[in-house]
């Protein structure tokens, strides 16, 4: 089969690239190839009462139509200050227009109108000052919250639009390799042995496909630059403890530098009245968090992540992150949960101790254990320090009943060397989204798809 455009990956980058192409009339000449399932077939066995991860060949939480964001909390961070490095390719002046276009599309397909972090100016100022008193930097950002559940509905509508415009969507179709002829992209070879030819190839496999992209980049001689790896825990507390923050910001983005090691520590992905969940990252069980659009819990969860750069010659931070997470899998059979009080006392959490905990865990499958056997010492020290600092901003965070789940790892893909329009050094081969290492979230990943599509349209006339 031959197409004008072949898109590898049906996450936000691939979807938005296809939508831009379809609006310009290239729908019937575009195909999206996705190794995971359609949105209505993305069913995790854990959601059906299974007690342990089934380790499916293609994880329905992280793969399939919509990518990992399909069942995420669905936060649209409407600023270029966080979420990636796309400004380095389109300029600081160009990024706001892309973000506005992305936000408008999500709203058109069902995103709610409410935006957090734009009102309550006096309260925001007071919170920023209070954070500074506790040696924290609070970064106020506008956030539109889709919510797990609503995100899936929006993605279904986008799928309907694309297929209506003639875009071919193939799920359950894994790409084996990228085809290059005479220095130009020529298409892809699927795992089933089918050659799918295309004048332009867009690789947007998301973080789930970062290892595959790394291997292909090595085979094709494409330069890569290692990004830092963020490793930490997911923290769970009663929702009332963080209500003063989540009411205003929804997600509080806080940065801290540890006293002991001067390591950067940050909060990430705060989920008011949400649930802690497990993810299968290519056979590795890690932890994450969601807030459902329609069903709430009594708890709020958020990640605390320690960022580390590495010295040469080491250049594979993803392998390091996987190694740390694999220790939790080895010791706990998956995700480990520990009370903060037990961690500070130097003892493991047990079923009996968890039964006395005032914070009721939302991830029932997590194994009570000892995270000090998993994390490097400097990571644990940094995590404890930021939780203590946070207690000055939200009293109750540094409680013996606060729950810590591990391991949470953000596998920021190695960044491909890309030129204008996010093109690799191979002509007509483009890369977009989190898998290419240039974005870290829904909005900039979606925007990167627009950048690629607009460059293709410019060349195609």
Q: Distance between terminal CA atoms of the chain? A: 23
Residue 92 has pLDDT above 60, yes or no: yes
Which residues does residue 148 pair with via DSSP β-bridges, in sequence order? Answer: 292
Virtual torsion, Cα 423, 429, 433, 435, nearest 10 deg: -120
Give the separation between CA 162 and CA 157, rounded to whole angstroms.
Answer: 9
Q: Any idea which residue has 């919170």 for tokens?
A: 127
Query: Quick check: 3 and 197 in contact, CB under 8 A?
Result: yes
Give SS3 for 258. coil
Q: Work out the average pLDDT over 374-384.
A: 97
What's the pLDDT band for 317 if we cut at 50, 70, 90?
A: confident
Query: Quick check: 167 and 30 in contact, CB under 8 A?
Result: yes
Give the separation between CA 444 and CA 46, rounded to whole angstroms.
Answer: 30
Query: Quick check: 456 and 205 in contact, CB under 8 A?
Result: no
Q: For the structural domain made of 2-111+146-225+414-460, what CATH number should be given?
A: 3.50.50.60
Residue 253 has pLDDT above 80, yes or no: yes
Give the separation between CA 95 and CA 144, rounded to whole angstroms.
Answer: 17
Residue 48 has pLDDT above 60, yes or no: no
Question: Which regions of the chain carry the CATH code 3.50.50.60?
Answer: 2-111+146-225+414-460
What's the pLDDT band for 23 if we cut at 50, 70, 90?
A: very high
pLDDT exceeding 70 applies to what percent of the chain?
95
Give the residue with greater pLDDT, 291 vs 344.
Answer: 344
Query: Quick check: 198 and 189 in contact, CB under 8 A?
Result: no
Burial letters for 65-96: b for 16+ Cβ neighbours within 10 Å, e otherwise?
bbbbbbbbbbbbbbbbeebbebbebbeeeebe
Reported pTM: 0.87
pLDDT tens profile 172-183:
999 999 999 999
Give SS3 for 250. coil
CA distances from residue 217 to 48, 84, 223, 416 in whole angstroms, order as listed: 38, 20, 7, 8
pLDDT tens profile 128-168:
999 999 999 999 999 999 988 899 899 999 999 999 999 99
**HSE, side-chain direction, 13 A CA sphere, residue 252:** 25
Q: Work out the average pLDDT over 97-118.
A: 95
């Amino acid at each position: 089969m031959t197409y004008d455009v072949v898109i590898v990956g049906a996450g936000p980058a691939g979807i938005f690239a296809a939508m831009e192409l379809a609006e310009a009339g290239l729908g019937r000449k575009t195909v999206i190839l996705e190794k995971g399932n359609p949105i209505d077939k993305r069913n995790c066995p854990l959601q059906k009462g299974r007690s342990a991860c089934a380790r499916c060949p293609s994880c329905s939480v992280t793969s399939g139509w919509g990518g990992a964001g399909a069942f995420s909390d669905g936060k649209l961070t409407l600023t270029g200050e966080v979420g990636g490095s796309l400004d380095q390719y389109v300029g600081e002046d160009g990024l706001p227009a892309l973000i506005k276009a992305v936000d408008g599309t999500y709203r058109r397909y069902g995103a709610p109108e409410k935006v957090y972090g734009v009102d309550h100016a006096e309260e925001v100022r007071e919170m920023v000052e209070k954070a500074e008193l506790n040696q924290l930097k609070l970064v106020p950002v506008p956030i539109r919250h889709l919510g797990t559940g609503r995100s899936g509905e929006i993605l279904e509508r986008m799928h309907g639009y694309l297929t209506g415009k003639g875009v071919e969507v193939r799920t359950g179709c894994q790409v084996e390799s990228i085809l290059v002829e005479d220095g130009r992209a020529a298409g892809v070879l699927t795992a089933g042995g089918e050659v799918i030819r295309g004048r332009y190839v867009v690789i947007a496999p998301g973080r789930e496909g970062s290892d595959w992209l790394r291997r292909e980049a090595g085979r094709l001689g494409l330069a890569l630059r290692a990004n830092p790896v963020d490793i930490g825990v997911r923290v769970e507390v009663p929702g009332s403890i963080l209500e003063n923050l989540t009411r205003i910001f929804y997600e509080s983005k806080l940065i801290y530098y540890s006293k002991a090691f001067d390591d950067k520590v940050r909060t990430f992905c705060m989920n008011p009245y949400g649930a802690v969940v497990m993810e299968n990252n290519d056979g590795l069980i890690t932890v994450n968090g969601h807030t459902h659009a329609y069903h709430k819990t009594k708890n709020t969860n958020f990640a605390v992540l320690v960022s580390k750069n590495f010295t040469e010659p080491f250049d594979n931070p993803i392998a390091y992150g996987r190694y740390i997470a694999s220790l939790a899998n080895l010791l706990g059979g998956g995700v480990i949960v520990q009370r903060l009080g037990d961690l500070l006392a130097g003892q493991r959490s047990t079923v009996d101790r968890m039964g006395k905990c005032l914070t009721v865990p939302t991830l029932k499958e997590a194994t009570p254990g000892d995270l000090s056997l998993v994390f490097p010492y400097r990571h644990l020290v940094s995590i404890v320090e930021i939780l203590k600092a946070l207690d000055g901003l939200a009293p109750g965070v540094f409680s013996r009943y606060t729950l810590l789940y591990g391991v949470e790892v953000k596998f920021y893909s190695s960044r491909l060397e890309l030129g204008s329009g996010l093109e690799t050094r191979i002509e007509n081969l483009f890369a977009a989204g989190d898998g290419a290492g240039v974005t870290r979230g829904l909005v900039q990943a979606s925007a990167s798809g627009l950048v690629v599509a607009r460059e293709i349209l410019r060349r195609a006339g």
